[in-house]
Structure formats: C-alpha cells, structure tokens
Amino acid sequence: MREERISTIGVEKEVLVDLEEFISEVEKMAGRGARFVTASCRDLGEEGFEIIYHFDIDHKVENIRIKVPKGREVPSISPIFFPALLIENEIKDMFGVKFIGMAIDFDSKLLLHQEAPKIPLLKPSWDKEPAPERKIPPCREACPAGIDIPGYIRLIEEGKYKEAVELIRQQNPLVAISGRVCFAPCETKCRQTIEQSPLSIRLLKRYASDKAGFDLDKSKKPDTGKKVAIVGSGPAGLSCAFYLAKLGHQVVIFEALPKPGGMLRVGIPDYRLPQDILEAEIKTITDLGVEIRCNQKVESVDELFNQGFNAVFLALGAHQNVEMGIPGEDDEKVLNCVTMLRRVNLGEKVEVGEKVGVVGGGNSAIDAARVALRLGAKEVTIFYRRTRAEMPASPEEVEAALEEGIKIEFLCAPTKIERKGDKLAVTNIKMKLGEPDESGRRRPVPIEGSEYTVELDNLVIAIGQRPEVSEKLGVNIGRGNRIEADAMSMKTSRDGVFAGGDVRTGPASVVEAVADGRKAAIAIDKYLGGDGRLYVPEVPYPQQFVMRRDMKEARKQIPRVEVKKLDPKERVKNFNEVELGFTDEQSAQETKRCWRCDWNE
C-alpha cells in the first residue's frame, strides 16, 4: 500500500507506505539526493505508532510516513541515512519502538544529564545549560562502515594504539587493509577542506594498526551450536565471519581460489597491499575459530544446508571481466585485467611486451597499467573515453601512475583490434562529452571520422567486472548478474540465505563490502535466534568533554603531512609497498590537525 499526499502545510509531498515498502521508498529518496532532517513519532494507542521521516530535497520538505503495530520491528534507515541513528535511538528509548539493523544502538545511553550522569535523559532540564555532548561528525557520516573517526584519532594522539584499533574493529575488522586501500570517502567530507587539505584519516588508521600489531582481542561468546557457511573470503565474507565468530557461531568460509582473501588477494597488487599484511589480518579472524576451505567452489546452497549449516552468506565478489564487444578482442595478445592481476598476485609468470595499452578509467585499470610496468613494459598508455574529472579511479592512484611515467589519453576508445605480425593495430575513435548518463557522468559520444591507429604489443581490457553467479544457488539474480538482496538485512529471495558485497552491489569498495558483511552478521544472528547485538570489546575511550582548540588557532595553516613513498624510478622495478606509512612525529603532527567536530560546545 502506497498513498501519496501533495502540498500539505509546509510539506511539498508526503508518502504513506507499508513496512514492506518502507526501505524501498527510503532508497528512492536517497537516490534523489535527499538530505535527512529528522523524524517524529506519535503513540496511536492500540493502533500502534506513527513515525514520520522528514527529508529535504532542494529546500523542500518531503515526508515518508509509516504506521507500526506495537511489538513489530521497524527497519532502521541509519545504514542509508547515517544521521538518523540519533533520532531513532531517541524514539526507541521514549516510545519503545523496536528498530532492526541500526548502525549504532546506544542502548538507552544517548544523552546524559551533566548533574546526573547515570540517568539517561532525552533532553536536559529547561533551566539547565545542556551538557556538552558528542555528535556525528561529517567524516563519520561519510564512512560506509560508520567508524568513530574522531574517537580513534584521539586515542592515537594519546598513544593508545590497540584501543584505537579495537574502536575501529567495532565497525570494520580489516584495519590494516583499510589503512592501505580504502578510498577514504571520509576525507572528502573533512571540514579541513574549507581552509586547506583534509586530515589524512586513512593513513592514521594504518599508523594505528602498524603500531598495535595483530595480537588483538580474541574474546567471544560461548558456542551457540549454530553453523554458518560463508561463500567467498573477500572483505564482505571476512567481515561477516569476524562478527559471527565473536557471537559464538561456528563459521566456515568456502573459497574458490587457492588462497583466501578474494579480490583483496587477487585484485590488489602487492605494492598497495603486501601479502604478509593480508595474511596477518586474515589470521586475526581465523584465530577466532573461523575455518577457511580454499579451492572449494560452491554452486549449490542445498549442499550447504545438507551439510548441517543453519544459514548461508553469499559473498562471491565480482570476478568476471566485462568485455568490450569489439572485433579482435579475442586475440591472445589482448589480456583480461581480472585474469592478469590474479595470475600476478598468485605468483604465476605473466609476460607483456614493451608497449602496452590499457582500456578503462577505474582503479583496476590503474593497477593493470602499474603492474605492466613492473612486468617489464617500457611504455604504458591508458585509453579512457571521458576526461580526468570523470575518472572513477582514486586521484591518489592516478597521480602515482603519472609519477611512474604512465601516459593517459582521454576522450578516446578502441573500436577494433587487428593483428599486424607480432603487433596489435588498435583503432581508436575520439570522443566528446554529451548529456549525463545514469551514473551522473557526461556520456561519451564518438566523433565521426576521428579514428586513428595505435601499434601495441599488448592491450589490457579493464572496463569493469561483474559477479559470476550460478543459477543453481536458487536465489533471484538481477541486473548486472547481481544477487538481489535487501540493502538492510542482506536477505535474499531464499529463506536462510543472505548476500552482500560486490555480488549484491556490483564492483564497489572494500569498506562498502565490509559494511555489508557487518549488516549481514547482525541479520544472520537474529535469524539464528540471537538479538543481533554484536560482541565487541569495550574500549576505554575517555568520554568526558574535551574543549576543541581555539578556532583561530585551529584555522592556522597547519600543512597536511605528506607520507613518504618509494622513488618512482626505483619502485617500478619491483612490487615493494610504495607508501611507507607515518613516522611517530608525522602522526603526532597530523592528529593535531583534527578539529574534533564530534563535540557540541
């Protein structure tokens, strides 16, 4: 049931939906670029509760209204609109409404009165000054995993490195990995960008992990007797396994590759993510009792249930290379990016010629180009059909490629590939940008008569990946060969089967996959009879108010610390890690740049 009302007082539009349609409507709102404002709740007596979510779109208010029978669970919108977790916690505490899938459950401890800190209050007394309180800062809002960024930065500043790592692991168990490969959306929202460069949040995370090491908390709840099968050992699978194991469930991961890690293992080169770091982080998960069975490709969920598993999480990733569909693409000198990176990372010998071209503009294309240099290519050129402004690759990775001498030709794309002796003759056509497409980027339009030919030894196709999903799994498969699963609970069309990460979303980021794995662990625990409360150690983080530095002082141009890297001329000769990480002095300087936006004053 969906009922729409137009232009009520002060409201542009209001939609009344059933609980079954609620999250779908919220996702539509997010897709339109809405900003969450607040929510209100009304007790309707025996009829239950009425909750109204208020959004702002182009300075106009639009509402989503739901009626909830008492005792019925309501899916939280905080994984989609993170700021909503505060008001949802208030509604939970005041009205007793049960929310599921909340990004953070404050457990009735949202606000504390300054004169009675043990008594939770929704608001301070009218005649008292409000107690200083923490709020959700822009950096944390932007983090798909919802990590307490100012919290761990403060712990680093105090030299409490293990505590900082454990605070991060409450939301993301892959700290060392994320500190190296996360695309850091948090940094784009850092308020330091108003005056200068954002805080180096990702590198501070890596610094904390480097200092703390991998001897971390191994506590977990008693064995529940429940067994969960996870298919895929990439970031989504590892994240889900970590939180389920902490809750006392028996977890077995089935991995088709000969080594665990998924795309972390075979899609990210060693110079970005060293194998020993990956191995050490995975060990922190197997130390909890998680079993990983490699060379085990699962195509039937029924087989897993027949083996006694009570629930299944499908985290297969997106390992199938997308083809261009042009003549000559099947030539043996045309390389598949996914296969090329996989073979290199697994230690197989891969040969390329002196002159290599790469088609694409994402991180995989950049990785393929940089790997080609390290395999012996003398000249590497990336062909991208849009401009640099539209490149989905991380700006830092693009800069690193340019430093290493890789060329990028913009506004062009191959139309056919021909063999000329032992060389490839690649015909490119020039492009111009037209109207925006569904991704929001301007669509490349071929310029008639602009074709030109480039001679290459090899061409690497790196225009994208997609999931490879067998119909035997018995779940609904949607566009792009993605498994259809609820964005909140990760539930698929089949009872007891959940899915997350790239197999649900299509190729995304490590941190987004980690967030999916965590949400899946919560949903699976509830499915198995638990309450969905993750078991994470309490971090002795000082909650008392700390005055933010004087803003005049804070606004002084304190330069962003630049991390030391290997020399470009030397690093292309090997696969050694390029970024060397912060020193103690650099970390101390960078933590001082934090404005502590998590405090209301």
- Condensed to tens digits (0 to 9), the pLDDT of residues 185-217 reads 999 999 887 666 899 999 999 999 999 999 999
Which tokens is 242 given?
A: 């970590």
Report whether pLDDT(28) > 80. Answer: yes
Report whether pLDDT(454) > 80. Answer: yes
Could you give the CA distance from residue 242 to residue 223 in angstroms, rounded to a whole number? 14
Contact 475, 483 (CB under 8 A): yes
Average pLDDT, the chain: 89
The residue-averaged pLDDT of 71-84 equals 88
156: DSSP letter: H
The residue-averaged pLDDT of 591-595 equals 88
Report whether pLDDT(109) > 70. Answer: no
Could you give the CA distance from residue 183 to residue 268 in angstroms, rounded to a whole number? 13
CB atoms inside a 10 Å sphere around CB 290: 25
Which tokens is 395 given?
A: 């700006």
Q: Which residues contact 193 (CB under 8 A, 6 or more apart)?
A: none
Domains, the chain: 2-120 (3.30.460.80), 138-216+548-591 (1.10.1060.10), 227-319+467-527 (3.50.50.60), 322-464 (3.50.50.60)
The residue-averaged pLDDT of 451-474 equals 96
Query: What pLDDT, on the 0 to 100 scale, is given for residue 305?
Result: 97
Could you give the CA distance from residue 551 to residue 408 in angstroms, rounded to a whole number? 42
Residue 223: band (very low, low, confident or very high) from pLDDT cuts 50, 70, 90:
very high
Contact 200, 285 (CB under 8 A): no
Query: What pLDDT, on the 0 to 100 scale, is given for residue 442?
Result: 87
Query: What pLDDT, on the 0 to 100 scale, is given for residue 126?
Result: 39
Query: What pLDDT, on the 0 to 100 scale, is given for residue 601?
Result: 44
From residue 351, give the alpha-carbon distance in Å to each of 213, 271, 334, 355, 372: 36, 19, 12, 12, 9
pLDDT, tens digit, 9 for 90 and up, residues 123-159: 333 344 444 567 888 999 999 999 999 999 999 999 9
Residue 112: band (very low, low, confident or very high) from pLDDT cuts 50, 70, 90:
very low
Query: What pLDDT, on the 0 to 100 scale, is given for residue 257?
Result: 98
**Quick one: which H or E segment has residue 521?**
helix 510-527
Report whether pLDDT(423) > 70. Answer: yes
pLDDT, tens digit, 9 for 90 and up, residues 344-356: 999 999 999 999 9
- Taking the CA atoms of residue 111, residue 115, residue 119 and residue 123 in that order, the dihedral angle to the nearest 10 degrees is -40
pLDDT, tens digit, 9 for 90 and up, residues 546-568: 555 555 555 566 789 999 999 99
| pTM of structure | 0.79
